[in-house]
Structure 1
Amino acid sequence: MWIAISLMMIAVSFLVLVIFLIISLLKWNRAVESIEKTVRQVEQQLSETLQESRSMMQEVRMLVADVREKTDWIDPLLRSLHTAGTSLQELSTGLHQQVISVRRRLGSVLSVVGAVMEWFLQRQGPRDK
């Protein structure tokens, strides 16, 4: 009889062990399915993100090319404006020096004319006679 009880306990223990293993395997199966579902969602989102990134990179390349083209077009214009500005500055400096020179000469001429007129007026004397 002890053998029968022992065999029965072994059978029950084995049955409990099998039930726990089945429950554990079912939980693992659900966890793996959940992970697979998550991985599929991440793959889909990653695929969409990559497509958007490629599209954005193409747009950025087009913008960079456009900026380069416009910069290449504007660069000679800016150089010409710089050259013109430098020339105008040199012309302005030259004109300023000429104005200073003319003022000096005109001052000298005016002082001579003033002296001549004063001398002439002194030579004529008073006219009221």
Structure 2
Amino acid sequence: MIWQISVALIAVAFVVLVIFLIRTLQSAQRSLNQTTETLQEIKQTVNELSTEVKGVVRQANDLTGDLQHKMDQLDPVLESVKNVGEVLTEVTLATKQVSTALFDRMKRAPRVAKRSKQAREVAPAPAAAPAAEAAPALPAGSADKPPGWVKWIDVAASVWQKYRS
């Protein structure tokens, strides 16, 4: 009889074990089914996104090409602006040099005039001259020559022309 009870207990335990294994396997199967469904949804979403990403990349490539073309068209304009800036810098420098030279020349001119006036006062007065010679004496050729500062401007202009050509 012990044998029979033991076999019956073993059979009941085996049935209980099988029942728990069946429930565990069913739960695992449901989890795998849900995982499969989720993976299919992800795959579909990735496919949709990949087509959209491809479109965005194509648009970005087109935009980049367009921008490159426009930048190539702007290069000559920017080069011209650069050249104009360099020319203006040169003109400004030349003008500054000419104005400095003129300013220095004008500063020296009163000193030279003062010295020549002092030299005339120191020199003995010539003997009485006829009425025609009594007029104030002008430097020789002063009616024909322009003032000194005009000469400096002409020199500066000719130097500039030679420099530019």
TM-score, normalization: structure 1?
0.73
Check if 1:6 corresponds to 2:6. Answer: yes
Q: 1:87 and 1:54 mapped to 2: Cα distance?
A: 49
Give the CA RMSD over aligned residues: 2.5
Aligned AA for 1:75? Answer: D
Quote the residue 1:50 is aligned against.
Answer: 50
Q: Residues 45-78 of structure 1: CA distance to partner in whole angstroms, max 9, x if unpaired?
A: 2223322322222222122212211211111211
Residue type of the partner of 2:72? D
Considering fraction of residues, name the structure with more helix: 1
- Aligned counterparts of 2:73 and 2:37: Cα–Cα separation in 1: 54
> Which has the higher relative contact order, 1 or 2, with Cα contacts under 8 A spaced 6 or more apart?
2
Structure 2 residue runs without a partner (length 5+) = 121-165
Counterpart residue number, 2:29: 29
| Secondary structure in 1 matching 2:91 | helix
The residue aligned with 2:77 is 77
Structure 2 CA distance, aligned partners of 1:105 and 1:13?
126
Matched, 1:16 2:25: no
Q: 1:60 & 1:104 partners in 2: Cα distance?
A: 63
| Aligned positions, number | 116
**Displacement, 1:111?**
6.7
Deviates more, 1:56-65 or 1:29-38: 56-65
Alpha-carbon distance in structure 2 between the residues aligned to 1:46 and 1:66: 30
Displacement after TM superposition at 1:106 (Å): 4.5
CA distance in 1, matches of 2:35, 2:22: 20
Structure-1 residue corresponding to 2:134: none
Point out where structure 1 has 5 or more consecutive residues left out of the alignment. 120-129
Kindly tell me: are residues 110 and 78 of structure 1, through their superposed partners in 2, closer, same or farther at Cα, counting changes over 3 Å?
Answer: farther
Spell out, residue by residue over 1:3-50, the C-alpha distance to the aligned partner (whole angstroms, 9 max, x if none).
332332222122112111110110110110111122112212222332
C-alpha distance in 1 between matches for 2:5 and 2:92: 122
3-state SS, counterpart of residue 83 of structure 1: helix
Return the alpha-carbon distance in structure 1 between the equivalents of residues 103 and 17 of structure 2.
118
